[in-house]
Amino acid sequence: MTSPPPNVTPAGHPGPARASLSGGRPAARPVHPGLVLAVLATSVFLSGLDAFVVNVALEPIGQGVGETSLSKLSWILNGYAIVYAALLVPAGRLTDRFGGRNGFLLGLSVFTAASLGAAASGDLWVLVAFRFLQAAGAAVLTPASLGLVLTTAPPAKLTRYIQIWASSGSLAAAAGPMAGGLLVQAAWQWIFLLNLPIGIAALVLAARLLPRGRQAGAARMPDLPGGALLAVAIGSLALGLVQAPVWGWGAAPTIGSFAVAAVALVLCLLRSARHPVPAVDLRLLRNPVFAWAGVATLLFYAAFAVQLLGITLWLQQEWHWSAIETGLGVAPGPAMVFVASAAGRRLARRLPVGVVAALGAALVAAGTALLALAAGDRLHYATDILPGWIVAGVGVGLALPTLISSATAELPKDKAATGSAVVAMAGQVGNVIGVSVLVVLLAAGAAGPPAHTFSHVWWTSAAVVALSALAALGITPRRRTGVAEPGAAAG
């Protein structure tokens, strides 16, 4: 599950001043700012959709490429999440330096071309390689699109534009299972082929409409070796988590992966503490709202990954539902996300955003607990699965958009792309952890009753998202009246 794109402004808060382009001059306003927003939101929606659409299609894809092992098929999900997480922060830092237009066009081009390669793949590992390329493109276009929203939105509509852009990620989460179920009825390749006409149309429009120029105020090149070390750290950590059930937790490759991750992270932090333009500005972590948002997002995505893939596998493997039946069965929960997110924006005008996010995460925990309590050998969808799934969907709609829209609220505008990339990276690491935990739980319970095993899966998800609710209480900005001025929050 790839993460929805992070926002920079909580609901009800005025947005930060728009960044200027080359030479410090204001950006020339595009002729059709609404069309520009549509292009940006659609592109980010596509990159998010590709993280969710695969969940219900793992079995058809496995049949198509001749693979049945869940631990191997999980690389179709985790490969995307690993590369996306590893490259988001370096890509965001470069976007801060060079501006969004070229980065957005490059990222969307790579993503679209890799989608064609994924559809043409006849081998699992070739498919995973193209998923890597898809994720690399998504990692570039996501932070680039954030800067473009800030520079192209009409001042009077800035907050609304940011909300629409951020909601595209929530819509991807809602549409993914249903879209996957429908598309695989024709062939699993259509999951990826769908990206081609939309991506090409978005490229043509973006090339015509997006303003040219480079972000002002970032004269020096960011620390690329530091960014490479961060990518190695995240990639090695994710590799160890994904492969540990296969290699063994005490095996040399697993320990080696974690050791490489630790060493690379320490070296990255040491460089970031000394470099004038670090890969990760450590001053961002001094902001409590930003720090708590990262923790809450990581935990939330880990729980959500366990929950979503767990319910999908239950319906397909234990009830033997088809992909379309599974998509329809899963859809009611995610469908509540978009509806509840609108209610969350209204609640955030009356309640602290931390309370709104915590309330949403608590509802997810409650809904997941209902699934765990109902788990048995003779489940009925309408009475034992649907109620808890809908409650969880409402909770996701309240919590997730609030978390991602509040994370960077107190950061200066020139740190927005990097800050949003760090939060998105936390979500993708959580995604990998969640899928890996699910694989471990299912392997451990393979000899026992399936209902007992999946009950453990859902109790685990409920416990993790309850911790996310506690962390979410820390995301309320210190100033409810507006966003901090540049430099106020990041030191």
Per-residue pLDDT of the chain (491 residues; tens, 9 = 90+): 444 444 333 333 333 334 433 344 444 444 588 888 999 988 888 887 887 788 778 888 988 888 888 778 888 888 888 888 778 878 877 776 776 788 899 999 999 999 999 999 989 999 999 999 999 999 888 888 877 887 788 888 776 777 677 777 667 766 777 788 888 888 899 999 989 999 999 999 999 888 876 554 444 677 878 878 887 888 788 788 778 878 888 999 999 999 999 999 999 999 988 888 787 778 888 888 889 999 999 999 999 889 888 888 888 888 888 878 888 888 888 778 777 877 887 887 888 989 999 999 999 999 999 988 887 666 788 888 899 999 998 998 899 888 877 777 777 766 766 777 788 888 888 888 888 888 888 888 877 888 888 889 999 999 999 999 999 999 987 654 333 333 333 32
User: Which CATH superfamily hosts domain 22-222+277-475?
Assistant: MFS general substrate transporter like domains (1.20.1250.20)
Burial 126-144 (b: 16+ CB within 10 A, else e): ebbbbbbbbbbbbbbbbbb
**Ramachandran category for residue 320: left, alpha or beta (phi over 0 → left; psi -120 to 50 → alpha):** left
Residue pair 168/38 in contact by the 8 Å Cβ criterion = no
| 32 contact partners, CB below 8 Å, separation of at least 6 | 209
**d(C-alpha 8, C-alpha 488), whole Å:** 15
Residue pair 88/37 in contact by the 8 Å Cβ criterion = no
φ, ψ of residue 327 to 5 degrees: the values are: -60, -45
Q: Where are the alpha helices (DSSP H) in 375-444?
A: 386-406, 416-444
Specify the pLDDT at position 484: 35
Structure tokens belonging to residue 266? 């320490």
Residue pair 46/176 in contact by the 8 Å Cβ criterion = no
Specify the pLDDT at position 33: 84
**d(C-alpha 275, C-alpha 253), whole Å:** 32
**d(C-alpha 186, C-alpha 191), whole Å:** 10
Query: Taking the domains of the chain in order of start, what are their residue ranges?
Result: 22-222+277-475, 223-276
**d(C-alpha 448, C-alpha 463), whole Å:** 22
Q: Distances in Å between the alpha carbon of 413 and those of 353, 409, 484? A: 20, 9, 9
DSSP E strands, 223-288: none
In 3-state terms the chain splits into helix, strand, coil percentages (rounded to 5) of 75, 0, 25
Residue pair 294/423 in contact by the 8 Å Cβ criterion = yes
**Ramachandran category for residue 121: left, alpha or beta (phi over 0 → left; psi -120 to 50 → alpha):** beta
Specify the pLDDT at position 417: 65
